[in-house]
Structure 1
Amino acid sequence: MPDPRDQVRRRITGDDAALVDHLLGVILAEIPGYQALDALQLDEVRAQIRWNVGRVLDLWATGTALTDADALRFRGVGAVRARDGRPLSVILRSYRVAARAFMGYVADHFGDALTVKDMADLAQVWLEADDRLADALHEGYQAAEAWISTDRDRALSRLVGDLVLGRHAHEGAFVARLRELGVHLPQRFTVVVLHTPASVEAVLPAMSEPVMHAVIDGTGVVVAAQADAKALRLVLHRRSARCCVLADIGANEAPRWYRLAKACLDRAPADRPVLDRGDAEVIALLAGRTDADPDRAASTVLAPITTGHDHLLETLDALFEAGTAEEVAARLGVHPQTVRYRLRRITAMTGRDPRRPWDLFVLQCARLATR
């Protein structure tokens, strides 16, 4: 005679999508913290639910117990959750919520095929498994937390590296690690890439808190809420050093900008010690990178003067074709002093001095990209 427990196990595990979605729905409804998870994190939760359900049903149908390998798996899960910054209390509660929902689901769908003892044994197996796995989860979580707290500087340096090298599966993972390390970085932040790592310590006073830094492949990288470009120029000028300031970027954008900044520092002339996103975008266009975008390059460089400043754009266009203030004035029919005033306005608004060859080149590339 077929074993009813084995039949139930086969029916559930053979098509468990409905049960997994049901348990996830209950967790989301009862635990607000899970509602903030993104799509990738929810897929991880689904996978964990599927494993738990299958393992418990196996133990129940075969009369066996959890193994050391099962406990080791959950110790690893605990360590990962500590690094992600998901609170342990919330994780443990999710297992309790899932247990209650699981037993209700089995009773509703398979109660007629099972005896009272079958249901009692299933509940006992889940509780015993949950007890042992919770201990393993807690051990892994505590061990990871201890490592983080005792070696915070290295953890911060690794976080910077993971950020700019694109090692985070999603922005939520980066935010969670920031939270666990006690770093209150805004959603949009600044990354400064230095041509020589020896300048990292020197530029830290020009960065606003919080500040994290690392040396990656011979390049210095500093991540902070904001950077004082004027202070950076002074520090770097004294050291004959250079950097690229990537302001107002998010975690998902950081790897692309880091690659562009490195290319920019390698190729842009040395007469501009502090490069920025506009320089990097122009370098991307010149290099023919697949992620280059003419409209984005033009907007990044010219945004301050594209609305309500047609006279400044007109002056720039004339400068590209002429060369001197007198020649520009003759083309536009204005006084040379007016041209010089407009050029000073362009410098103040864009941060680029048209009298400098590189700045003029970047302005011209951006202007051409809009046509």
Structure 2
Amino acid sequence: MPESRDQVRRRITGDDALLVEHLMDVILAEIPGYQVLDAVQLAEVRAQIRWNVSRVLELWATGTSLTEADANRFRGVGAVRARDGRPLSVILRSYRVAASAFMGYVADRFGEVLTARDMADLTRVWLAADDKLSDALHDGYQAAENSISTDRDRAIGRLVSDLVLGRHAHEGAFVARLRELDVPLPQRFTVVVLQSAAAVDAVLPAVAEPVMHAVIDGTGVVVTGQADLKALHRRGARCCVLADIGANETPRWYRLARACLDRAPADRLVLDRGDAEVLALLAGRADADPERAASTVLAGIASQEHLTETLDALFVAGNAEEVAVRLGVHPQTVRYRLRRITAMTGRDPRRPWDLFVLQCARLATR
């Protein structure tokens, strides 16, 4: 008397350890990503294989279909895999590899007691189950991934707020939170403070990874490894760029940047640390430093006597022709020197605010 499907099912599941290890070996051989899983994760994979085999054989023997409870189980599996960081494509491939290996195993060991119809139905049941469970797995994975992304975005936003508002007990606490969020920000970084919160998305292409951003009291703040000043100019967003600063310095610089954006003329679109330092001097802040303001604004021209004397003459002369008369040089020479000053300081002496900042920096240490 031929064996019933239920009898075959019991024979297969009665010695499922052999089948589970066979499918596990095939998956490990076919999918390198599974070879790096730890012992706990491999035990979870074995348990899932055992459940799949048992459930598919049950459906095949009883002529039933997967339930919503089965789908919910796989939504949960998908969510767990997303939090593990295991790629969805790799997980789905493991089910396809297991399906082929399972059908081969059954055909080799039970081919004599199963009819062609039995094998065809078993294949159909596995594929139908795989299709439904894959959809559920995908849904759970995507939902969890979206949740993780949202949670991470919120955590990064809080980190940026705490950074600029000085809520860290010490720099090590900030570094520890960066590590937890997997943000490889260098020890010295750049903060871009934007006058408009709406401009954050517009300036992101002008900054380098890694990047964090947040909106604080209507102001956009972007923290990055470095920013492209020319690209920021092209983006047209009014901002203050604070380059080469550390976590402990950030609150001070942030306050100065906000003051710069409120008080500096709008004709200077992209402000920087030099503008902030000069503003600190003018406001009489206790932490203002004349030497630091001068070195920040004047950059490389402080040691170029011909450039500094040209700048000093411009403060009282007003235009290139008058400067040329005072210095006894050709007006074209003066224009060339002014272009050099602009290139080296990022400030155009022909613009009132830039000229004012340059003059303040020159006067700061006299």
| Pairwise TM-score range, normalised by the shorter structure | 0.5 to 0.7
Matched residues in 2 for 1:258 and 1:357: separation? 24
Partner of 1:365: 360
Matched residues in 2 for 1:217 and 1:283: separation? 21
Partner of 1:177: 177
Give the superposition deviation at 1:150.
6.4
Partner of 1:332: 327
Partner of 1:305: 301
Matched residues in 1 for 2:149 and 2:342: separation? 46
Partner of 1:347: 342
Give the superposition deviation at 1:303.
2.1
Alpha-carbon contact 1:148-1:155 (below 8 Å) kept: no
Question: Mapping of 1:220-235 within 5 angstroms?
Answer: 220-235=220-235
Alpha-carbon contact 1:212-1:222 (below 8 Å) kept: yes
Structure 1 length normalisation: TM-score? Answer: 0.58
Matched residues in 1 for 2:234 and 2:149: separation? 35
Matched residues in 2 for 1:363 and 1:306: separation? 11
Matched residues in 2 for 1:370 and 1:322: separation? 22
Tell me the SS of whatever aligns to 1:306. helix
- Residue 243 of structure 2 is aligned to residue 213 of structure 1: no
Partner of 1:76: none
Paired AA for residue 204 in structure 2 = L
Paired AA for residue 283 in structure 2 = A
Matched residues in 2 for 1:194 and 1:200: separation? 7
Question: Mapping of 1:1-371 within 5 angstroms?
Answer: 151-236=151-236, 241-307=237-303, 309-371=304-366
The superposition leaves residues 303-362 of structure 1 with CA deviations (integer Å, 9 ceiling, x where unpaired) of 21112x110000000000111111101110101000000000000000000001000000
Matched residues in 2 for 1:161 and 1:298: separation? 30
Paired AA for residue 202 in structure 1 = A
Tell me the SS of whatever aligns to 2:350. coil
The superposition leaves residues 129-164 of structure 1 with CA deviations (integer Å, 9 ceiling, x where unpaired) of xxxxxxxxxxxxxxxxxx987610000000000000
Tell me the SS of whatever aligns to 2:153. helix
Tell me the SS of whatever aligns to 1:234. helix
Partner of 1:131: none
Alpha-carbon contact 1:197-1:219 (below 8 Å) kept: yes
Alpha-carbon contact 2:281-2:288 (below 8 Å) kept: yes
Matched residues in 2 for 1:329 and 1:306: separation? 20
Gaps of at least 5 residues in structure 1 are: 1-146
Give the superposition deviation at 1:218.
1.0
Partner of 2:65: none
Paired AA for residue 363 in structure 1 = L
Paired AA for residue 203 in structure 1 = V
Matched residues in 2 for 1:160 and 1:359: separation? 30
Matched residues in 1 for 2:251 and 2:225: separation? 17
Matched residues in 1 for 2:148 and 2:298: separation? 43
Paired AA for residue 278 in structure 1 = G
Tell me the SS of whatever aligns to 2:155. helix
Matched residues in 1 for 2:272 and 2:300: separation? 15
Alpha-carbon contact 2:240-2:271 (below 8 Å) kept: yes
Identity across the alignment (%):
84
Paired AA for residue 213 in structure 1 = H
Alpha-carbon contact 1:148-1:181 (below 8 Å) kept: no
Matched residues in 1 for 2:198 and 2:184: separation? 26
Gaps of at least 5 residues in structure 2 are: 1-146
Q: CA RMSD in A?
A: 1.2
Aligned pairs, number: 220
